[in-house]
Amino acid sequence: MKLFYSAASLYARKARVAAIECGVADTLEFEAILPWKDPAGYRDVNPVGKVPALGLPLYQSNIICEYLDAKGKTRLYPEPGPAR
């Protein structure tokens, strides 16, 4: 599965860090894009055209981080409940 990012995007960096910290980075392919150039086919992954996007497709960095958290070995988010 591809994680689309741009090196300059802090939202995309957050998703990349989450992938590393959750221990799932080795299951992903990272593809750098320039979203403001509207790469061909990218809106099929993310209709909004922004980064990051994860090729399920999933977009919005917080949603991607929660997905990676759920898939990973190391949890970043507390379990649902008052702590969260």
Ligand X SMILES: N[C@@H](CCC(=O)N[C@@H](CS)C(=O)NCC(=O)O)C(=O)O
Cα separation, 80 vs 41, whole angstroms: 36
Q: Which residue is nearest to ligand X (CB)?
A: 50
> CB neighbours (10 Å) of residue 24?
20
Q: Which is nearer to ligand X, 52 or 81 (CB)?
A: 52
Query: How many C-alpha atoms does 4 have within 13 Å on its Cβ side?
Result: 23
11 makes contact with ligand X (CB under 6 A): yes
Which range, of 20-28, 46-54, 69-77, touches ligand X by CB under 6 A? Answer: 46-54
* Residues at the site binding ligand X, with contacts judged by CB under 6 A: 9-11, 35-36, 49-52, 60-61
